Amino acid sequence: MKKITWLATFIMLLNVAYAQQVIPLYPTGQIPNAKATEVAEIIDTFPAGDKTIRFVVNISIPELTAYLPTKEKANGMAVIICPGGGYSGVAIDHEGHDMAKKMSENGIAGFVLKYRMPQSAIVDNKEFVPLQDAQRALQIVRENAREWGIDPRKVGIAGSSAGGHLASTAGTHYHKTLIGNPKNTSLRPDFMILNYPVISFADSLTHYGSRSNLLGDMPISEEKKREYSNELHVTPDTPPAFVTHAVDDDVVKVQNAILFVAALQKNKVPVETFFYAKGGHGYGMDNPTTDVDWIDNCINWLLKFRN
Report pLDDT digits (tens) over 72-131.
999 999 999 999 999 999 999 999 999 999 999 999 999 999 999 999 999 999 999 999
The SS3 assignment for 66 reads strand
Q: How many residues does the chain have?
A: 307
Predicted local confidence at residue 6, as pLDDT: 35
pTM above 0.75, yes or no: yes
Class of domain 2-303: alpha beta
Per residue in 10-58, pLDDT (tens digit) is 333 334 434 589 999 998 789 999 998 889 999 999 887 777 889 999 9
The SS3 assignment for 19 reads helix
Sign of CA dihedral 192, 195, 196, 198: negative
Pairing of strands 155-160, 78-82: parallel
Per residue in 157-213, pLDDT (tens digit) is 999 999 999 999 999 999 999 999 999 999 999 999 999 999 999 999 999 999 999
Ranges of each domain in the chain: 2-303
In eight-state DSSP terms, residue 126 is: G
In eight-state DSSP terms, residue 190 is: S
In sequence order, what are the beta bridge partners of 157?
80, 192
In sequence order, what are the beta bridge partners of 52?
47
- Region of residue 170 (left: phi > 0; alpha: psi -120 to 50; beta: else): alpha
